[in-house]
Structure 1
Amino acid sequence: CAHLRPGDMVFSTHRGHGHALAKGVSAAALIAELLGRETGVSHGRGGSMHLFAPEVGLMGTSGIVGPCILQAAGAAYAFKLRGQDRVGVAFFGDGATNNGAFHEGLNMASAWDLPAVFVCENNLYATEIAYASVTRNPGVMSKAASYGMPGVEVDGNDVLAVFHAAGEAVERARTGRGPTLIECKTYRTRAHAEGMRDAGYRSAEEIESWKRRDPIAMFRQRLLEDEEASESQLEAIESEVQQATAEAAQFAQQSPWPEPATAPAHVFADSDD
C-alpha cells in the first residue's frame, strides 16, 4: 500500500487488519470495530472480518474467499472506462487460487489490460490443508502465464522485496501496461483462527523455523546492518507504536456501543434521490 494513493482501491480478505492500517485506517477506528463500537470503521457492524473505509480507498475486507479478486478487477475496469489514473488491488490467500473467481478475474484483467494488481499471500496452508496437496502446480505466480500477464514470486517476509515488487506492479498498472500477479511466500505461525487446534497437519519444527524469519525482526536487523537506523532510533519508534496502540485501545474501550434503534442503518447506500 506504500505505492498507492487515496483514490486507489483495495479489496481484502478475512485477514485484512494490516491492509486496513496500511491503506490509512486509524488504529483507533480499527480496534473500536474489533470491539463492536459505534466509532469503529464499520460503525461496529463489521467486526474483525468486514472493514469498510471508502474515504481512504479500503473498499472492504471479507470472510468470503475469492470475491475480492473480481471486485478489484471490476474497480480497475471502471477506472479504465472513466479514464482515471487509479489502480485496483486485491489481497488474497493461496486457498483463493482454486476458486473460480481467481481465474475469471485474472483472465478479464489481462484481456482488457486493466490497471489491477493481484497479491497472493501464500502461507502454504488453506485452513489446515497444505496448498501443495490440492494442486499439481503449487507455484501461484506461474499461473499468471496462462492469462498472459506477468507473475512475480517474492519472499513475503522480506519487506524490501515486497516493496520493490509492489512498486513495479503498481507502476505497470498506472501506466496502462496491464495487471500483475504477485505471489508473496510467507507463513502463518499461529492457528488458522484463535481457539482452533494447531496440531497434526504441520510440525513444531516447521513453525519454529518460520518464526525465526519474522519479517519485522528481519527488517529491523537489516536496517541496523545497513546503518539506515540506530538501535536508539528503532527503540524510539517501537515506543511510539506501543504508546499509539495503547491510546487506540483505550479509545475503543471507552467508545459507545451502537444504539439498538440504529440496527437497520448502514444497510443501503444513502441517496439524495
Structure 2
Amino acid sequence: MRKMLAVVVSHVFSGVAQKPGLRGLLASLNFSNDVTCDIKKCDLYRLEEGPPTSTVLTRAEALKYYRTMQVIRRMEMKSDQLYKQKFIRGFCHLCDGQEACCVGLEAGINPTDHIITSYRAHGFCYTRGLSVKSILTELTGRQEGCAKGKGGSMHMYGKHFYGGNGIVGAQVPLGAGIAFASKYLGSGEVCLALYGDGAANQGQLAEAYNISALWKLPCVFICENNRYGMGTSIERSSASTEYYKRGFFIPGLRVNGMDILSVREATKFAADHCRSGKGPILMELQTYRYHGHSMSDPGISYRTREEVRDMRSKSDPIMLLRERMINNNLSNVEELKEIDADVKKEVEEAAQFATTAPEPPLEELAHHIYYQNPPFEVRGTNKWIKYMSFS
C-alpha cells in the first residue's frame, strides 16, 4: 500500500512540474535560505574602521533586490522609448546601469529616513514607494502622475523623498537642511543627499559640508560617480577624482556602486555613523550609466561603444546579483525568467496607462503653490485670465 501511494505521489508531482508557474515553487523547496557573501573592501578616509567585507544575503532579500532592479531597468528602457515617440517631452535623465545604487541605498536605511537627489531620480522614486504607473504617468505629464503631471522627470516627490531637483548641486544644502530638521526634532532619522561627480565641483557643496560638520548633522553626502558629468570625463573636470575625500574634515568611504551588497553595507555603516551623533559622512559610489547624460546626449561622442559594452558585460549590477543568486542556490534561471516576465507585464501596462490617461485641467495650473495656505488669486498669461491657488 505504501509503495503504491509513493508511485501516485510521484506521478502527481511529475505532472505538476510540467506547469511553469509551479515548477519554480517545487524547485524553491531545495533553495538555500541564505548565504554569506564576500564584498569588496571600501577605501576609507579619516576612518579607522569601515563597513564589513562579508554579509549575509537571504533568499527573500535577493529576490526582492533582483525584481526591484529589473523594474527600474525596464522602466528606464520604456522611458527611452516613450521619449523617442514624443509621449515624454522636455528633460529626461535615465539611470540604467546605476540600479545597485538606489536599491542598495534603500536597503541600508529605514523607510522613515529621508532622501533627496538630482534630476536622475526615477529609480529613487520607485525605491521610495512610488508605483511604476505613477512615475511613467508623471513623465508623460498626466493628471494621475505622482506630481499631478506638473513636475515631469526632474521634479517627482514621495513620502520622505524630496525630488528630483533640476539645479545642479542645489539639493545638497537642502539635504543638510532636512538633516538639521531631523536633529532639531530629535527624530533619530538621517538624510541621504545625493549628487553626481559633475555637481561635486559646485561651491554650495563645500558650504553644506562646513555647516553640517559644525552642527554635527545626520547627513550622508553621496556622490554617484558615473565617470562623466554631462559630456566631460572626471579627469577633465576635476583636479582630484577622489570624491570621498572632498569633505576634507568629514570622514569618507569609496564604495563599489555596481554591487548592491557593497552599497547596502556601506549605507548601513554611514547611517549608523550619523545616528550615533558623530555628524556627517561622505560616500562615493563608483557606478556607470549606460545612456547618455540626458536624452539629447547620444553618450558615445566622449566615450566608445566598446567601453559601454565592456561595463555591461563585466560589471552590470543586475547580472552580478543574478550570478550570485544562481551560484549560491538562492534561485534558478527558470524562477528569474518568471520574475522578468512579470516585470515586463507590469511596465507595459503602466506605459499603456501613461499614454492614455487625461492631462491635468487648465484650471488646476496654479494649484499646490503653497502647502495649507488660504486660496489666493494667481494671474494667468494675461490680465484677463485668473487662477486660484489651492493646497
Q: TM-score, normalised by structure 1?
A: 0.93
1:245 is aligned to 2:350:
no
1:219 is aligned to 2:303:
no
Equivalent residue for 1:142, pick from 227, 232, 245: 245
Instruction: Look at both structures and tell me which one has the larger radius of gyration over its CA atoms.
Output: 2
Aligned partner of 2:268: which letter?
A: G
Residues 109-142 of structure 1: CA deviation (Å, up to 9, x unaligned): 2222111111111011111111111222111012
Q: Give the aligned partner of residue 261 of structure 2.
A: 160
**How far off is 1:227 after superposition?**
1.7
Equivalent residue for 2:287, pick from 166, 174, 186: 186
Aligned partner of 1:189: which letter?
A: Y
Cα distance in 2 between the residues matched to 1:244 and 1:2? 22
Report the CA distance shift for 1:246/1:103 in structure 2 as closer, same or farther (over 3 A).
same
Cα distance in 1 between the residues matched to 2:107 and 2:232? 32
Aligned partner of 1:41: which letter?
A: C
User: How many positions carry a matched residue from both structures?
Assistant: 269
- Segments of 5+ residues of structure 2 without an aligned counterpart are 1-105, 376-391
Equivalent residue for 2:302, pick from 201, 211, 223: 201
Cα distance in 1 between the residues matched to 2:202 and 2:138? 29
Q: Give the aligned partner of residue 95 of structure 1.
A: 198
1:49 is aligned to 2:154:
yes
1:9 is aligned to 2:9:
no
**How far off is 1:261 after superposition?**
1.1
Partner secondary structure for residue 220 of structure 1? helix
Residues 133-171 of structure 1: CA deviation (Å, up to 9, x unaligned): 122211101223x12x22111111111111111111112
Please say if residues 50 and 62 of structure 1, whose CA atoms lie closer than 8 Å, have aligned partners that are also in contact: yes
Residues 3-59 of structure 1: CA deviation (Å, up to 9, x unaligned): 333332211111000011111111111111001011101100011111122xx2111
Percent identity, aligned pairs only, is 33
Query: What pairs up with 1:38-117 in 2 under 5 angstroms?
Result: 38-53=143-158, 56-117=159-220
Please say if residues 224 and 231 of structure 1, whose CA atoms lie closer than 8 Å, have aligned partners that are also in contact: yes
Equivalent residue for 2:361, pick from 250, 256, 259: 259
Aligned partner of 1:104: which letter?
A: E
Query: What pairs up with 1:167-178 in 2 under 5 angstroms?
Result: 167-178=268-279
Report the CA distance shift for 1:142/1:21 in structure 2 as closer, same or farther (over 3 A).
same
Please say if residues 94 and 120 of structure 1, whose CA atoms lie closer than 8 Å, have aligned partners that are also in contact: yes
Please say if residues 90 and 118 of structure 1, whose CA atoms lie closer than 8 Å, have aligned partners that are also in contact: yes
Report the CA distance shift for 1:257/1:200 in structure 2 as closer, same or farther (over 3 A).
closer
Cα distance in 2 between the residues matched to 1:13 and 1:195? 18
Cα distance in 1 between the residues matched to 2:217 and 2:271? 11
**How far off is 1:60 after superposition?**
1.7
Partner secondary structure for residue 285 of structure 2? strand
Cα distance in 2 between the residues matched to 1:118 and 1:45? 28
Report the CA distance shift for 1:238/1:270 in structure 2 as closer, same or farther (over 3 A).
same
Equivalent residue for 1:33, pick from 138, 151, 161: 138
- Segments of 5+ residues of structure 1 without an aligned counterpart are none
Q: TM-score, normalised by structure 2?
A: 0.66
Q: Give the aligned partner of residue 221 of structure 2.
A: 118
Cα distance in 2 between the residues matched to 1:199 and 1:161? 29
Cα distance in 2 between the residues matched to 1:271 and 1:4? 33
Aligned partner of 2:192: which letter?
A: V
**How far off is 1:272 after superposition?**
6.0
Cα distance in 2 between the residues matched to 1:106 and 1:65? 16
Aligned partner of 2:288: which letter?
A: Y
Aligned partner of 1:255: which letter?
A: A
Q: Give the aligned partner of residue 72 of structure 2.
A: none
Cα distance in 2 between the residues matched to 1:238 and 1:176? 42
**How far off is 1:180 after superposition?**
1.6
Please say if residues 2 and 22 of structure 1, whose CA atoms lie closer than 8 Å, have aligned partners that are also in contact: no
